[in-house]
Amino acid sequence: MEQYKKDFIEFMVDCKVLKFGDFVTKSGRKTPFFINTGFYRTGKQLRKLGEFYSKAIVETFGKDFNILFGPAYKGIPLSVTTAISLSEHYDIDINYCANRKEIKDHGDTGILLGSPMNDGDKVIIIEDVTTAGTSIQETMPIIKKQGNVEVLGLVVSVDRMEKGKGEKSALKEIQENHNIKTTAIVTMDEVVEHLYNKPYKGEVIINDEIKKAIDDYYKLYRSI
């Protein structure tokens, strides 16, 4: 596993973004682990988060794109901090764009904030986590309405590696249904590999009990 992936896993723990217990996902599944990017709250944390996202984007998509689209609401700060990081670390000056939940009818009107989209634009969508692929169904029509733009792919922080609407993972379904690339900074397998029964700052984050709960969850929901 690459060092930046290990660093990101520990970063999630430090920021209390990665949690283990009893949770319910947006898709209604009861899960023993949860990733809440709303816990990235400080300037220092957001700056670091943008660095992890930008590295994953450049590794997968290269530098030939010009818009980073963040779906409302959590995708908005993700798109901003990653756009800054791409400029600082990779000398890529790309535009950020996001959608509003409601269309604005005064001032800066329309459903978008940030950069407008034009024919020929190459777009990468940035999100926090995709569990069952429901968010992308709302996002793609918004982007496609803006013109003849090319959506290159989707990047998320963690691949939960579980079924979407069928037996394949949500990311694989999105890749096939929309003919785009998908990637994640880390997968849950990598998270477990790095944290299981290995003390981090004096604490075992994933002990035998939590590991069993994760294994039981994947007996039901692991994708093919």
Q: Is 135 annotated as a binding residue?
A: yes
Catalytic one among 44, 106, 201, 219?
106
Q: Is 133 annotated as a binding residue?
A: yes
pTM value is 0.91
Catalytic one among 16, 30, 89, 104?
104
DSSP codes, 45-93: HHHHHHHHHHHHHHHHHTT---EEEE-TTTHHHHHHHHHHHHHHHH---
Q: Is 106 among the residues known to form the active site? A: yes
What's the pLDDT band for 107 if we cut at 50, 70, 90? very low
Helices (H), 62-185: 75-90, 134-144, 170-178
CATH of 3-221, one of 1.20.140.150, 3.40.50.2020, 3.30.70.20, 3.40.1170.60: 3.40.50.2020
Q: Is 218 annotated as a binding residue?
A: no
177: left (phi over 0), alpha (psi -120 to 50) or beta: alpha
Given a cut of 70, whether residue 67 has pLDDT beyond it is: yes
For the chain, domain boundaries: 3-221
pLDDT tens, residue by residue, 23-65: 988 778 899 999 988 899 999 999 999 999 999 999 999 999 9
Name the amino acid, one letter, at 219. Answer: K
Q: Is 37 annotated as a binding residue?
A: no
Q: Is 89 among the residues known to form the active site? A: no
Given a cut of 60, whether residue 201 has pLDDT beyond it is: yes
Q: Is 70 annotated as a binding residue?
A: no
